[in-house]
Amino acid sequence: MSASSRAAPGVDADCVLVRFSTADYSPRQRADAWREIYGRTLQKMDIEPFSAEQLHAEATLLRMPGLAMMAGRRFAAIYSRKRQFLDHDGVSVTWALGSSCQAHQVGRNVDVTRGQAVVLTSAEPGHLLVPRLDYYFNLLVPRRCLSPLIADLDDVYGRPIAADNPGLRLLTHYTGILQEPETFAVPELRRQAVLHIHDLLALAIGATRDAAELAKNRGARAARLRAIKEDIVNGLDQPGLSVATIAARHRIKPRWVQRLFEAEGTTFTEYLLAQRLARAHRLLADPRHANHKVSTIALDIGFGDLSYFNRAFRRRYGMTPSELRAAAKSAEPPH
């Protein structure tokens, strides 16, 4: 039995992606596969399932220098890290995304409710009680990377991080960047992403004054910009989307939103326009939307002025929306 392991596409060999799913095994093999491959091989822990029925779980592990990320679905069980598995001193932060769970370590018992996270250490025995099928997310960072940023790291083990913790919320948004292939294409971008994760973990756990100042100007800034961009992309259909509305939703001043984009050499308005035009391009080139009028598509993605939409589209793509649709139609294979 084995998991699928390979270097992440387009990146160095030190960035490894591992995928595992019990769906690759017969029902009678699934519990053993989950215990041996996910538990003992990937996570260095024992697993005691509560039931042998409906055992379906999956995990994706991304490992690179300074960071390992695990996400997936795990079935109800007790996940125990025993002394024979203690081979490093990493700091682990685990989110309970689907339901609550219970963590026990360094003499502390904590109920981790949905949306919260818990800080654990790989240097001490402990266990996690997961009462039902659960979606989860986990980050593992070497202690040496976090200890200079946190005043008393040993004191936070076995303690929860509240779901509304500002650092945790920024971190939750930012971890999505680690799932985007372009993050790994350039080693420098990968190193920056890992540093930003360290910053945000420190803010969520309890950074020192100096580390907090550094994190706010580095990791937190990057995470906030990512969250704002995500908000913009999700709200393209809103004609009134503006710096003011975005700033109000993220509880910051409009000028700060502008500065975040200016640091990237662009503006809020330019980014919003580029995203709307990109979505228009995708829809117009998609045969599934061939029956939708150009004007309808423009209105649906937030353009209130059709003439402006046509001019902006032509400047960006060198053709009008109608010309793109015609070109896409002529490229379709004959039925």
Token reading at 325: 């649709």
Report the C-alpha gap between 163 and 174 in whole angstroms. 15
Report residue 331's pLDDT band, with 50, 70 and 90 as the boundaries. Answer: low
Residue 13 has pLDDT above 80, yes or no: no
Which pTM was predicted?
Answer: 0.72
Q: Please compute the mean of the pLDDT values over residues 92-98 and round it to a whole number.
A: 89
CATH (one of 3.30.2350.10, 2.30.40.10, 1.10.10.60, 3.40.50.1820) for 238-335? 1.10.10.60
- Residue ranges of the chain assigned to CATH 1.10.10.60: 238-335
- Residue ranges of the chain assigned to CATH 2.60.120.10: 67-234
Residue 104 has pLDDT above 90, yes or no: yes
Report residue 272's pLDDT band, with 50, 70 and 90 as the boundaries. Answer: very high
What's the CATH fold of domain 67-234? Jelly Rolls (2.60.120)
- For residue 277, give the H/E element and its range: helix 268-285
197, 67 in Cβ contact below 8 A? Answer: yes
Report the C-alpha gap between 228 and 214 in whole angstroms. 21
pLDDT of residue 16: 84
Q: Please compute the mean of the pLDDT values over residues 48-53 and round it to a whole number.
A: 78
Q: Please classify residue 151 by burial: count the beta carbons closer than 10 Å to its beta carbon, then call 0-12 exposed, 13-18 middle and 19+ buried.
A: middle
> For strand 46-49 and strand 77-81, is the pairing parallel, antiparallel, or unpaired?
antiparallel
